[in-house]
Amino acid sequence: MLAVYAQSISRTDPLSGLVVGERPDPEPQQGWVEVELKAATLNHHDLWSLQGVGLPESRLPMILGCDAAGIGPDGQEVIAHSVIPSPGWSGDETLDPKRSLLSEVHQGTFSERFTVPAANLVPKPEGMSWETAASLPTAWLTAYRMLFTNSGVTPGGLVLVQGAGGGVATACIQLGAAAGLRVWVTGRDEAKMERAVELGAEAAFPSGERLPEKVDAVIETVGAATWSHSVNVLRPGGAIVIAGATSGDAPTKAELTKIFFRQLRVIGSTMGNRTELLRLAKLMQTAGIEPVIDSTYPLADARSAFERLESGENFGKVALTA
Ligand SMILES: NC(=O)c1ccc[n+]([C@@H]2O[C@H](COP(=O)([O-])OP(=O)(O)OC[C@H]3O[C@@H](n4cnc5c(N)ncnc54)[C@H](OP(=O)(O)O)[C@@H]3O)[C@@H](O)[C@H]2O)c1
């Protein structure tokens, strides 16, 4: 079958190890089922994998991809939840220290057919497009948990999203606005900042700029480049919810004094659990939210999709269709 996989690892030139080619058909293990791919979306995670983050050479070749929607057993239309708990784990799977995401230990979703634990399938809401469904399991689920489980901000509260155009960032703007939060955004690019406002952000500011008002929470996935700004813009007692560090995880200043003196909270957030994915899918349907899809490519042209994501020029999700 046609698949998009990592053949080798390169920290400096991740796309050099990317192959679009034939891989053997998957063979579901006990309790797992096969899904026929309809659409998948890329995440920064796929670039990290090609750089060896969470994916050692010993596991190669590895089919990439955390996100997908397709046709499950008995012909149901399904979304695949990407967090794979260890055998015997019960409770919130994001707290399982031995969990993995599809494409880390088990083969990922960028192939004509892939396998997933039967318990990880979630029904695709009726009428939802394949690209929308395939956007939910990673970026959108992460945004959902950051905003609604971890930030503590209620409707009318003010949230700053660092980074205007990323998959998680655009999801936070759309979900936050739909839920009645006031959403401010920072960006490095004027056009992306304008688009963020069109999407529902109340205001957009150049990256690092002083804000007119302190915010209740910051949604942080950029990391080192924005860390000090995230600390400085919070009201006393406010929260930084952090789920990523795209620009690096070693900021020049940790800002420890400001964090304790102003009683700020730093809350780690990773993906979301199956219940949150079900609720997210329901919210998308009832609120009529359509994720911003930057571009869509056929699976056979996945290299162009990776080039688009790597360029950083995307606004919203980059999708693949089978
Ligand atoms: N913990 C988890 O479960 C989880 C889940 C999903 C994602 N993540 C992590 O979250 C991060 C974002 O993921 P994604 O898929 O949304 O990535 P993406 O689509 O590639 O977006 C990258 C984002 O980072 C911003 N950015 C990058 N470098 C920057 C810099 N130097 N200064 C300011 N902004 C910068 C971009 O802002 P502009 O639009 O302004 O360029 C954009 O919003 C990644 O590190 C990913 O690994 C973690």
List the CATH number of the domain containing 296: 3.90.180.10
Number of domains in the chain: 2
- Choosing from 246, 276, 310, 313 the residue with most ligand 1 atoms within 8 A of its CB, the one to mutate for a pocket test is 246
Question: Residue 155 has which token pair?
Answer: 């409707």
Burial degree of 251 (CB within 10 A; 0-12, 13-18, 19+): middle
Tell whether 204 and 113 lie within a shared domain: no
Q: 44: CA distance to ligand 1 center in Å?
A: 7
- Region of 38 (left: φ > 0; alpha: ψ -120 to 50; beta: rest) is alpha
In terms of Cα–Cα distance, which of 123, 201, 122 is closest to 164?
201
List the CATH number of the domain containing 254: 3.40.50.720
Tell whether 37 and 128 lie within a shared domain: yes
Tell whether 221 and 74 lie within a shared domain: no
Question: Residue 185 has which token pair?
Answer: 């955004």
Q: Which residues line ligand 1 (CB under 6 A)?
A: 43-45, 48, 138-139, 142, 163-169, 187-189, 192, 207, 221-222, 225-226, 243-247, 270-271, 309, 312
Share of the chain above pLDDT 70, in %: 100
Determine the structural domain holding residue 251 and report its residue range: 139-268
Alpha-carbon distance of 78 to 91, in angstroms, equals 22
pLDDT (tens digit per residue) in 73-105: 999 999 999 999 999 999 999 999 999 999 999
Q: Which atom of ligand 1 is nearest to the CA of 192?
A: 39
pLDDT (tens digit per residue) in 160-209: 999 999 999 999 999 999 999 999 999 999 999 999 999 999 999 999 99
Give pLDDT, residue 28. Answer: 86
